[in-house]
A and B are shown apart, each in its own frame.
Chain A
């Protein structure tokens, strides 16, 4: 065995060892950088409600017609506000079921009363907030107001 061969073997072994570490790290890169969630198909119910919303007469100025989820695990989803109450929560029977772990099963409700939308907390664990105020009673909301439940933020838009 010549000196040169042995040196090549030595450096080669170290290179291979580090290559293994790189392969192991790249195998777990999904944990480091996250997995891109598959595109969610538009739910049918939403399309139906959007159609219904067009028929319904417009409310007074500042009355929101849609609630958008702008933060949290369900970001991007929205629900039409057509006058019937909308419940938010982790339970499957809510109008808007959320996958946020910090949201209670029945967390908050949007309710339409005398041309005004109100948000109210349904006795949730972590509370519902408008700004920094934890809700204790029904609070009127208008277009562009936001409220937070768990890590989810809902914004109302016209």
Chain B
């Protein structure tokens, strides 16, 4: 949906007519609720699996509360008008992820949950840094091409000989000292910023030129350049790094953002055609992809495989789930990263999984809402891109886990085990908070009349 038109339909609230509500109190109440749910999940995992209250429950509650409190206080100081529901949703998702990782720890005899909690602390630290240093989101639009280049560099970093590192066939890791990191997660955010800044400059050419064919406005051939470039880049990642997820995600985000910027459906059609073409080509050339498609068509060719076990787990969970700690999610190989969705679906059932998906949808809708309210085109596009990219990732990974679409390796934001993904998603949320703060902040009263004087008149489209 086009931002400008949707805005016209939903009656933008006149800044002076509506008393501004900051909503920090609402946020605090919801945060306490969210921490309560996270602790409840953690305790009930132990009750279900071991029949006792975990000895470190208070420490867990304390760690989670401390991290949340820091984030909340920084929002109070640096983004007082930010959307009050974003942070509580994120904390709930993190809490559910931690509980499920803890549950898999009990089954496998490992201690990954505490590592994950540490990574969450790192994520909150970066969240605070973004809110402190990015005072106005418009500074991000200054260097679109440099940002694009930086994003591409981060993407190819794992291919370099010494620091590059390959885990389970996917060459998407780099070694930083003793740890490994996926630069692709950071590249995603930087590229969304670059796309937004680039599209603000070029969207008129992409939207207006071209001719009509079969009721669809076709773009000019020379305007196809960027979309083809990103398409080739995505295919390149696929072939060289042997990882399907990031390439699909990257291309999908770009197509969605072009659509938001130009409000022309032809870009979506074109994007889907290119994805199909790329998919067929990859299916023929890259063995990894052909294997994924085979597992999608018939997951039970390997009954011990991930997709088959995930489907068994979801079926075992049924409508209400087995209860936390009482299922067998550990039977799915590597359940803690890609398949945490099916692990949660098994223990919380369809009811719980729908709740989780709704939380993601609410988060994405808050991002889009910020985009609707924002007054500058870059902010609008950035908010829409972040929200759409975030939700597209959830769709791709949960669709793969539930066998709606072929499985692609992507993490479930905030739930999956993995530092890079968790940390970078906190950065993404910080940007959303910053954008929603700018969107909901009332215009300064002294200059409000001169603001409306000089503001550009919205043009009525007769179409």
Please list the residues of chain A having a beta carbon within 8 angstroms of any beta carbon in chain B: 1, 6-7, 9-11, 13-14, 16-21, 23-25, 27-28, 30-31, 34-35, 37-38, 40, 73, 90-92, 97, 99, 101-105, 124-126, 150-151
Contacts and interface: CB of A to CB of B under 8 A. Distances in A.
Interface string B323-362: 1101000000000000000000000110110010011001
A14 B348 contact: yes
Contact of B17 (A1, A37, A104): A37
A1 B320 contact: no
Given A73-B14, A101-B458, A102-B460, A10 B324 contact: yes
Nearest to B48: A6
Interface string B79-93: 000001100110010
Interface stretch (B37-45, B61-69, B133-141, B422-430): B37-45
Contacts of B215: none
8 contacts: A6-B48, A21-B358, A24-B85, A28-B85, A40-B17, A90-B457, A105-B454, A105-B457
Interface string B419-463: 000000000000000000000000000000110111101111000
B172 interface: no
A16 B358 CA distance: 14
A126 B462 CA distance: 10
A144 B230 CA distance: 58
Contact of A9 (B26, B323, B348): B323
Contacts of A20: 30, 33-34, 37, 88, 92
Contacts of B36: 16
B144 interface: no
Contact of B26 (A7, A18, A27): A27
B380 interface: no
Contacts of B84: 27
A16 B23 CA distance: 22
Please list the 7 inter-chain residue pairs (A to B) with the smallest Cβ-Cβ separation, ordered nearest first: A10-B323, A92-B449, A37-B17, A125-B457, A1-B51, A101-B458, A126-B460
Given A10-B48, A19-B33, A105-B453, 14 more contacts: A6-B326, A10-B324, A14-B351, A14-B352, A17-B355, A20-B33, A37-B18, A40-B17, A73-B14, A90-B457, A91-B453, A92-B449, A92-B452, A125-B457
Interface in B208-222: none
Contacts of B11: 34, 73
B14 A37 contact: yes
A86 B84 CA distance: 44
Contact of A11 (B40, B41, B320): B320
B352 A17 contact: yes
A105 B8 CA distance: 18
A117 B434 CA distance: 51
Interface string B239-274: 000000000000000000000000000000000000
A141 B326 CA distance: 78
A24 B34 CA distance: 10
B85 A126 contact: no
Contact of B459 (A24, A28, A90, A126): A126
Contacts of A103: 457
Nearest to A94: B453
A156 to B, nearest CB: 23
B290 interface: no
Given A35-B13, A90-B457, A23 B452 contact: no
B17 A24 contact: no
B348 to A, nearest CB: 7
Given A11-B320, A16-B40, A28-B366, A99 B14 contact: yes
A146 B91 CA distance: 54
B167 interface: no
A138 B350 CA distance: 66
A104 B453 CA distance: 9
B266 to A, nearest CB: 26
A6 B460 CA distance: 60
Contacts of A92: 449-450, 452-453
A98 to B, nearest CB: 9
A40 to B, nearest CB: 8
Interface in B293-341: 320-324, 326
B242 to A, nearest CB: 37
B369 interface: yes
B88 A24 contact: yes
Contacts of B275: none
B321 A10 contact: yes
B29 to A, nearest CB: 8
Task: Give the most central of A13, A18, A97: most B CB within 10 Å.
Answer: A13
A101 B421 CA distance: 41
A29 B359 CA distance: 16
A101 B12 contact: yes
B452 A38 contact: no
B452 A13 contact: no
Contacts of A7: 323
Interface string B156-200: 000000000000000000000000000000000000000000000
